[in-house]
Amino acid sequence: MSLRNILIHPDPRLKKVCAPLEGVDSAVRKLATDMLETMHDAPGIGLAAPQVGVLQRLIVMDCAKKDEEPSPMALINPEVTWASETMNTYSEGCLSIPDQYEDVTRPAEVRVRYLDVDGQLQERAFDGLWATCVQHEIDHLDGKLFIDYLSKIKRSMITNKMKKLKRERARL
């Protein structure tokens, strides 16, 4: 297990459309394990491979509440196959945009098809925080961040804050 460095917005790698994985091998399983460890350490409830600089379609999540059993998941080449018409608004954050939270409205329920770490095709329904999180993570694979749902003015304010944060971190 090893922690990976999380990229901070703005970074050109966070804007790329990621490539599908051709199969599931030990390198993919190692990446998934490292990403889960990095996500828990952050701490966060989800993480997408491009956030650690890997431009491949892999996401990890664990949206279990503190009083629930942990339920870590890794999803390879995830695709939304159905989205509810009912929408849900959540105050979203992102490990690549630290300490910034804004309301985002998305479908309340989705079905997602993906490969698990054993290379088995799976399809699962997500609701509540899980539904928000899986859509936020799949957006990362298409180079999309939650701030892309905000007004231009809010987005540029947040981007400027992140540029400042990166300058300060670089000076240390």
Catalytic residues: 137
**Residue 61 beta carbon to ligand GNR: minimum distance, rounded to whole angstroms:** 8
Does residue 136 bind ligand GNR (CB under 6 A)?
Answer: yes
Among the listed ranges 12-20, 39-47, 81-89, 154-162, the one in contact with ligand GNR (CB under 6 A) is: 39-47
Beta-bridge partner residues of 48: 59
| Cα atoms in the Cβ-side hemisphere of radius 13 Å centred on 54 | 19
| Residue of minimal Cβ distance to Ni ion | 94
Q: Which of residues 90-129 bind ligand GNR (CB under 6 A)?
A: 90, 92-96
Size of the site for Ni ion (CB under 5 A): 1
CA-wise closest residue to 144 among 85, 104, 90: 104
Cβ 32 vs Cβ 99: under 8 Å:
no
**DSSP classification of residue 12:** G
Cα-only R_g, the chain: 16
Asked if 94 touches Ni ion (CB under 5 A), the answer is yes
Q: What whole-number distance in Å separates Cα of residue 28 and Cα of residue 66?
A: 28
Q: Which is nearer to Ni ion, 123 or 142 (CB)?
A: 142
Helix (H, G, I), strand (E, B) or coil at 163: helix
Cα–Cα distance for residue pair 68/82, rounded to 1 Å: 27
Contact yes or no for 61/78 (Cβ under 8 A): no
Enumerate residues 44-63 that contact ligand GNR by CB under 6 A: 44-48, 51
Residue with smaller CB distance to ligand GNR, 117 or 129:
129
Q: Given the rule CB under 6 A, which of 8-16, 79-87, 112-120, 132-140 is the region that contacts ligand GNR? A: 132-140
Smaller CB separation from Ni ion, 39 or 115? 39
* Residue span binding ligand GNR (CB under 6 A) among the ranges 65-73, 74-82, 86-94, 114-122: 86-94
Q: How far apart are CA 19 and CA 27, in angstroms?
A: 16
Interacting residue ranges for Ni ion, rule: CB under 5 A: 94
Interacting residue ranges for ligand GNR, rule: CB under 6 A: 44-48, 51, 90, 92-96, 132-133, 136-137, 140
